[in-house]
């Protein structure tokens, strides 16, 4: 095998390889062709497609094609017929565990690996997105918002009941980890948006925020233009 048959660590196709592929591919199973040419099945399919090769009609009609064609008898005898009853129907039932199967099965609620390491009991707290969350349930395979709820909302609703629709809780001292009732203020979403608006900031800070936004827009625009120029060259 000569060095010119390799490029960047890949084995190239020679004229002899192409002749062998053209001779055998239409009439033999692709895995057999791959073993003969010492290549992967994927490589055979790719090369055959590039050369416009197809399986012959005789091969497609043979059992080697593994095709299921109704009315032609190819594989039809091996299909499940309508109304077929599985051989193991009725054998599986709750508690069915022959041999040592029951000893090796996962028990309900069992945890292992990372799940066991990160598990916390109900009543535990954790910090997420700057807010304190409390674990209120232990339901598996559900979004975290089912098992974990914000502490400040729980504290407020414990005294005042469910929070009205369209409202939010604001922190008077702006510390989102301080969930004391005296630090919580019920406001509308519109009020919350107005409080978070840049126009309520001091003039110097407001100008800094606006300049930073303009700078970020320029960076994104120039990055996008540079990427477009690179692709067009």
* Digit-coded pLDDT (tens) for 129-148: 899 999 999 988 888 889 99
Nearest to 148 by CA among 167, 183, 176, 120: 120
pLDDT at 17: 93
Nearest to 125 by CA among 179, 196, 66, 63: 179
| Geometric angle at alpha carbon 223, from 220 and 225, rounded to 5° | 110
Helix axes 41-51, 15-24, angle to 10 degrees: 90
As a whole number, the mean pLDDT across the chain is 84
* Residue 6, phi then psi, degrees to nearest 5: -120, 145
Yes or no: say if 184 and 156 are a contact pair by the CB < 8 Å rule: yes
Q: What does the alpha-carbon distance between residue 36 and residue 21 come to, in Å, rounded to a whole number?
A: 9
Sequence-distant (6+) residues with CB within 8 A of 173 are: 183
Where helices occur in the chain by DSSP H, the ranges are 15-24, 30-37, 41-51, 57-60, 101-104, 113-118, 144-147, 151-160, 189-195, 203-232
Position 192 pLDDT exceeds 80: yes
CA–CA distances in Å: residue 146 to residues 136, 142, 168, 177? 8, 7, 19, 20
Q: What does the alpha-carbon distance between residue 56 and residue 181 come to, in Å, rounded to a whole number?
A: 80
The mean pLDDT of 113-121, rounded to a whole number, is 86
Which residue do the tokens 């992967």 mark? 40
Nearest to 27 by CA among 64, 72, 66: 64
Q: In the chain, what percentage of residues exceed pLDDT 90?
A: 45
Position 217 pLDDT exceeds 70: yes
pLDDT at 9: 57
* Token pair recorded at residue 134: 């409390």
Please, which pLDDT band fits residue 95 given cuts at 50, 70 and 90? low
- Among the ranges given (9-13, 34-38, 136-140), the one the predictor scored with the smallest mean pLDDT: 9-13
CA atoms within 13 A on the CB side of 144: 10
The mean pLDDT of 20-26, rounded to a whole number, is 95
CB atoms within 10 A of CB 72: 10
Q: If you compute the radius of gyration of the chain from its CA atoms, what whole number of angstroms results?
A: 34
The mean pLDDT of 61-87, rounded to a whole number, is 72
pLDDT at 174: 87
Please, which pLDDT band fits residue 37 given cuts at 50, 70 and 90? very high
Q: What does the alpha-carbon distance between residue 148 and residue 161 come to, in Å, rounded to a whole number?
A: 18
Sequence-distant (6+) residues with CB within 8 A of 164 are: 186
- Among the ranges given (14-18, 27-31, 41-45, 215-219), the one the predictor scored with the smallest mean pLDDT: 215-219
């Amino acid at each position: 095998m000569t060095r010119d048959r390799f490029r960047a660590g890949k084995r190239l196709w020679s004229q002899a390889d192409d002749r062998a592929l053209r001779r055998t591919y239409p009439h033999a199973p692709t895995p057999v062709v791959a073993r003969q040419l010492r290549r992967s099945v994927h490589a055979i399919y790719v090369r055959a497609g590039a050369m416009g090769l197809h399986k012959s009609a005789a091969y497609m009609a043979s059992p080697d094609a593994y095709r299921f064609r109704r009315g032609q008898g190819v594989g039809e005898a091996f299909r499940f017929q309508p109304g077929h009853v599985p051989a193991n129907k009725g054998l599986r039932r709750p508690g069915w565990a022959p041999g040592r199967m029951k000893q090796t099965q996962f028990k309900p609620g069992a945890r292992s690996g990372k799940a066991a390491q990160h598990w916390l009991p109900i009543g535990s707290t954790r910090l997420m997105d700057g807010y304190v969350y409390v674990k209120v349930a232990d339901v598996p395979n559900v979004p975290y918002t089912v098992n974990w709820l914000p502490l400040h909302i729980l504290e407020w609703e414990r005294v005042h009941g469910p929070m009205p629709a369209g409202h939010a809780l604001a922190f008077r001292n702006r510390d989102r980890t301080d969930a004391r009732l005296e630090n919580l203020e019920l406001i509308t979403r519109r009020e919350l948006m107005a409080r978070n608006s840049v126009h309520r900031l001091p003039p110097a800070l407001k100008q800094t925020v606006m300049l930073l936004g303009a700078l970020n827009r320029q960076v994104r625009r120039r990055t996008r233009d540079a990427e477009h120029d690179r692709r067009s060259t």
